[in-house]
A and B are shown apart, each in its own frame.
Chain A
């Protein structure tokens, strides 16, 4: 066990034995923190500088990043490999549509859709909670298929052919695009911020223990089932928010693509390539994804085939992903969630870097 198991005091108030200093990161987290704030401010100012083509591409970027971060929380920390998160992506889109048909603005519909998806996540969790690995994965997939088949039955939601989302405020296109961009930026900041806060909390300790060794986590009395349920509902809400972003930015929804397993494929590939089990991994993976997509855009779906092959290779031969390779060499953490023990007077921390093993490995 790493230090996590031996030092489970309340987060942030670790009281170690005498002669040991505990910090959250190996180097000061001040400069990475400032860098993140600067990046967010620059991104927030972007609609004044860039074309709407750039900002609408970034909306897609934020949607994929949100989904990938949620999948990372599920699979990377809670050990729940879902291939059915597109259920909540699609439901998020359709909840915005339903709210708009009842007269709610799409922007106000977004948080409503996210919360509704989180609520739907609870009965789904009852259904899938006792299933393990492959069973869990395919059953979530079946549930996504059921959601799609039910939505198709309603002609008022556009049936199988899809429908336009209306009810946007009456403002210029340029301003509308800027609003959509800011909202998607806000969703991403809220999602990443929540994950960061969650992982630094007491629940985060359980999640980190779960990530490292599920059996070990159970044996030291971690509330595994309760934590997994919380994570599943949070991931449902997050994927719902991403789905809401998708319909607002289109503004069109169609069941086959809203509930497409390609969303799960994107989340999974992005997280694996970037580095599963770290907050930074999905960010890096999403950047790789969009660079690849833009450079290979004239070759059809080739970018996706390449992405899938790279993800398979990374999963087998370099399971810590890109961020794992970078973080080791530079010793940096953008989002410090672990603990580092410094023996008195030592200049080297005692915590071993984490290496993923996975169940049974």
Chain B
């Protein structure tokens, strides 16, 4: 029964990883940029939420109302300035610049806000749970994060397939030159895609801040790698693949933790390397037939 519990907890954890991964996947799919500062931006979102809560005294759960729009704006601005400037140079430059951004963010957080860990205080919700059967307990928070992750992915899917801007983003991702000939300003479209990606990063950072303790180093040590692993396991260009990848990673970690409590992260990393060897195109590549954006 404890194994069933481990798998169930892994599935719920996978929702959080998918939330981290979808922004990374979107930016790679549209701009061909792997944003190495992705994890650190999520940590920044959690710190911004701390500030927002301290100033406005809103409950932590509602901090996203302010933090998500701030991050969307930040994403648009960063894309139009720093990331576009490095994209104009080369793909290699985008890697170097986002890596530099990651290091600068982490060290600045440590310099200004110390290396102490914090968490977003959500009161009694953090420990509230309900029982299924005799051995399985599900925390309301974990379930809520999973539901939010699925909702964000659904919203993203709907936006990309049905809205005008979503169609423009897919057009630019598929063929930038052709989209430009048809009158689309690809720089603006890139900015919008980055704004959406950053908004999801903010959601993920807030969810993580409520779920667990965070400190400046967590962004590079864990979050970026987990997000990337979920993307690769799931397969690029498919949001549902990203969810599946996140869930598989979460389950692998929880099974590892079940075997030996200190092996949670190692189990996830080894599972990722195994998946990379066995299905390098990601699991969804085995099933999907239609066009892929990446």
Chain A residues numbered 323-361 whose CB sits less than 8 Å from any CB in chain B: 357-361
Q: A304 CB to closest chain B CB, in angstroms? A: 5
Is B64 interfacial (CB 8 A cutoff)?
Answer: no
Is B82 interfacial (CB 8 A cutoff)?
Answer: yes
A: interface residue count bin: 35 or more
Q: Are A319 and B225 in contact (CB under 8 A)?
A: no
Q: Are A358 and B89 in contact (CB under 8 A)?
A: yes
Which residues of chain A have C-beta atoms less than 8 A from B221's C-beta? 145, 261
Partner of B96, one of A150, A309, A315, A361: A315
- Which of A81, A261, A272 has the most B CB atoms < 10 Å from its CB? A261
Which residues of chain B have C-beta atoms less than 8 A from A143's C-beta? 273
Is B215 interfacial (CB 8 A cutoff)?
Answer: no
Q: Are B266 and A135 in contact (CB under 8 A)?
A: no
Q: Are B228 and A312 in contact (CB under 8 A)?
A: no
Q: Are A142 and B100 in contact (CB under 8 A)?
A: no
Contact with A along B210-252 (1 / 0, CB 8 A): 0000000000110011001100100000000000000000000
Chain A residues numbered 60-74 whose CB sits less than 8 Å from any CB in chain B: none
Is B90 interfacial (CB 8 A cutoff)?
Answer: yes
Is B293 interfacial (CB 8 A cutoff)?
Answer: no
A305 with B108, Cβ < 8 A, contacts A149-B266, A150-B266, A312-B97 known: yes
Which residues of chain B have C-beta atoms less than 8 A from A305's C-beta? 104, 107-108, 111
Contact with A along B263-286 (1 / 0, CB 8 A): 101100110110011001000000
Chain A residues numbered 266-312 whose CB sits less than 8 Å from any CB in chain B: 268-269, 272, 300-302, 304-305, 308-309, 311-312
Partner of B111, one of A135, A262, A301, A315: A301
Q: Are A138 and B36 in contact (CB under 8 A)?
A: yes
Q: Are B93 and A316 in contact (CB under 8 A)?
A: yes
Partner of A308, one of B107, B110, B266: B107
Is A174 interfacial (CB 8 A cutoff)?
Answer: no
In the docked arrangement, what's the CA distance between A101 and B107, Å? 35
Which residues of chain A have C-beta atoms less than 8 A from B89's C-beta? 315-316, 319, 358, 361
Partner of A138, one of B101, B225, B265: B225
Binds B, one of A32-40, A126-134, A220-228, A244-252: A126-134
In the docked arrangement, what's the CA distance between A134 and B262, Å? 29
A142 with B91, Cβ < 8 A, contacts A127-B277, A268-B99 known: no
Is A141 interfacial (CB 8 A cutoff)?
Answer: yes
A142 with B272, Cβ < 8 A, contacts A300-B111, A312-B82 known: yes
Binding site for B on A (CB under 8 A): 75, 79, 81, 83, 127, 130-131, 133-135, 137-139, 141-143, 145-146, 149-150, 152-153, 261-262, 265, 268-269, 272, 300-302, 304-305, 308-309, 311-312, 315-317, 319, 357-361
Name 27 A/B residue pairs within 8 A (Cβ), A-sorted: A75-B92, A83-B95, A127-B273, A127-B277, A133-B92, A134-B36, A137-B36, A138-B36, A142-B228, A145-B225, A145-B269, A149-B265, A149-B266, A149-B269, A150-B266, A261-B220, A265-B99, A301-B107, A304-B107, A311-B100, A315-B93, A315-B97, A315-B100, A319-B89, A357-B90, A359-B90, A361-B90
Instruction: Return the 6 tightest CB-CB contacts between A and B, nearest first.
Output: A358-B90, A134-B34, A361-B90, A312-B100, A358-B92, A308-B104
